[in-house]
Amino acid sequence: MKLIAGLGNPGPRYADSRHNIGFWVVDELARRWRSDLSRYEARFEGLVGQAQRGDTAVLLLKPTTFMNLSGRSVGAVTRFYKLQHADLLVVYDDLDLPVGQLRLRAGGSSGGHKGMEDVLRNLGGEDVARIRIGIGKVHRAATVGHVLGRFAPDERPLIDAAVTAAADAAECWLARGIAAAMNEFNRKARAGGGSGDDPAARAAEGDAP
């Protein structure tokens, strides 16, 4: 069994915010796979869907704990199904990547992302594959308003394409593993221009409570 978790904040207030792009990718996978992602599981504190992809059962998860406590939900699912870190893929927004750019990693720190930080804390390790999607950087004082705000109309084509590409990357991870997905989709991102992945430039971000 594999788990793909998209991070975001629950409820209509946050549904269209930049911070919820992880949810959008999981929604896209649910659409493709005709998986019902509307079922709330109290024991997991999240919306859970299931699909069968070849010989592999896949769980889709949208935590409803609010971003900063995402690990509580992801950890509960991981422990219940006795999943290994290699069975997990997390999708979330990234302030330090240009709008719409993807960056896949096989592990590493949270880079200041509070939701991913909580996931790693709950799982007890950093060897968790992830897909980060750029939402653009602003001055630190404006971070909270930025991540909880909506994309501008001229950004939407980039974001729509990014959601599609991230879902493609998740399917690649599922079929061929994180190394193959990194090789294919990070190369495409570089070809699009701009690395956007300078660790020294990463900053702590604000999150909804």
Phi, psi angles (nearest 5°) of residue 40 = -90, 130
Which one of the listed residues 19, 85, 113, 146 is annotated catalytic? 19
> What would the two tokens of residue 161 be?
């394409």
Cα 199 from Cα 111, distance rounded (Å): 7
- State yes or no: is 113 an active-site residue: no
Strands 102-105 and 129-134, by their bridges, are antiparallel
C-alpha to C-alpha distance for 19 and 12, rounded to whole angstroms: 13
- Give Cα 150 to chain centroid, integer Å: 17
Please, is 34 exposed, middle or buried when counting C-beta atoms within 10 Å of its C-beta (0-12, 13-18, 19+)? exposed
For 44, 160, 191, the CA distances from 110, given in Å and listed in that order, are: 22, 25, 25
Tokens encoding 175: 């079929």
User: What are the tokens at 13?
Assistant: 């207030």
Catalytic residues: 19
